[in-house]
Amino acid sequence: MKAVINATPLISLSLTGHLQLLNQLFSEVYVPTSVYQEVVTQGRQRPGSDVVRNADWLIVQQPALTSPIPVALMGLDLGEQDVILLGQELAVNWLIIDERLGRKIAQAMSFQVKGTLGLLLVACHGRAVN
């Protein structure tokens, strides 16, 4: 199964020492370029950024699709929009988003969505994401 992840869950999992969980639950984990820049480049020197930078199994990719609606009008930030666009482009199984509006829009677009807590609960119960 493939997933695209947003900044907040990426940071949360790296700070709690659970980033590797993504690699265990999903065959491919994509990070939009804007999300990677937010966490690693702009977030340089912040806790967790080195963990993300060193996770060589994360696939950083810029979505080729663009939204006809400006992100500000949707109330999303660029990273959330790019997660949804990349998920659409790659036809992934899951989007990993914590923010409420991003989750609602992704679900309205028929994506399966999990957040940080949902992933930790799956791991705690020793089940696969389904």
Structure confidence by residue, pLDDT tens digits, 23-77: 999 999 999 999 999 999 988 888 888 999 999 999 999 999 887 776 666 778 8
3-state secondary structure the chain: CEEEECHHHHHHHHHCCCCHHHHHHCCEEEEEHHHHHHHHHCCCCCCCHHHHHCCCCEEEECCCCCCCCCHHHHCCCHHHHHHHHHHHHHCCCEEECCCHHHHHHHHHCCCEEECHHHHHHHHHCCCCCC
Condensed to tens digits (0 to 9), the pLDDT of residues 93-106 reads 899 999 999 999 99
CATH number of 2-124: 3.40.50.1010
Q: Quote the pTM value.
A: 0.90
Query: What pLDDT is attached to residue 48?
Result: 83
